[in-house]
Amino acid sequence: MLPRNHRLSLVSGFEGLAQTTELDQRHAMVWDIFEHMDAICFAIMNSSTTSIDRRAISNSVYHAEYRLSKLNNELAATGNGQNLTKALAAAAQLFLHIFIRSLPASAPRHLRLFDKLRLLLESDEHEIGSLYTRSGLPILLWMHFVGATDEGDSLSRGLHVSKLEQLCLEMGIDSYTIFERALKDVLWINEPGITYAGRAWEDIWVGLELR
């Protein structure tokens, strides 16, 4: 069971989105997968090292991977629209690969997902705009943070970092501690989360000092 304060903060963010977007079946599925992955992260950070624990976590990761791959394929076939759901699903799959499975962010298999996430977040569709609410901003911050792990593409990473700077200003984030806390409100795992968040914050802080 996840700590109550963590689960409530995650739930409140998605409930805020439900009030501003059409919570269709696929969007509800993304939310369910986020909860699934949140439980995986909690288990990894708090489990013992027994073979039973490792097997249970491995099975959960495999199940989350299957659900996300299936969902992303279904969303790709829908054509235009549902940009928020598509962005959340793409970011979730990147998080699963890079943060939970510890796969290299530079792996060729991630190029398409990174491109998709960046293009969706740059879109002016009203769904993405609906994230500019008190409950939605942490989720937008988290998606741009995931996008910023694309350290092999300086242009793409620079765009995400620039957006993170803006979001930090809007959210009153002026220290790494607060930045990490905001990311934890959505989906987090200590490692490699701390490593990636630390590198992102270094660049964010440089930009904030220049403003």
What integer is the mean pLDDT of 109-137?
81
- Which residue has tokens 């964010």? 204
Each residue of 163-191: pLDDT tens digit?
999 999 999 999 999 999 999 989 999 99
Q: Which two tokens stand for residue 81?
A: 């629209």
- Give me the mean pLDDT over the 126-138 stretch: 72
Give the pLDDT of residue 200: 97
Structural contact between residues 167 and 139, judged by C-beta atoms closer than 8 angstroms: no
Is 61 within 8 Å of 40 (Cβ atoms)? Answer: yes
Where residue 127 falls among pLDDT bands split at 50, 70, 90? low
| pLDDT band of 13, cuts 50, 70, 90 | low
* DSSP summary character for residue 99: I
Compute the radius of gyration of the chain from its Cα atoms.
Answer: 16
Q: What's CA 17's distance to the chain center, in Å?
A: 15
Q: Please say if the pLDDT value at position 50 is more than 60.
A: yes
Q: Which residues contact 16 (CB under 8 A, 6 or more apart)?
A: 133, 134, 135, 136
The ranges assigned to domains in the chain are 4-210
Res 19: pLDDT: 47
Tokens representing residue 50 in the block: 């027994």
What is the mean predicted confidence (pLDDT) over 61-67?
A: 94
Closest residue by Cα to residue 91 from 63, 121, 67, 61: 121
The answer, yes or no, to whether residue 204 has pLDDT greater than 90, is yes
pLDDT at 52: 61
Phi/psi for 49 (5° steps) reads -105, 25
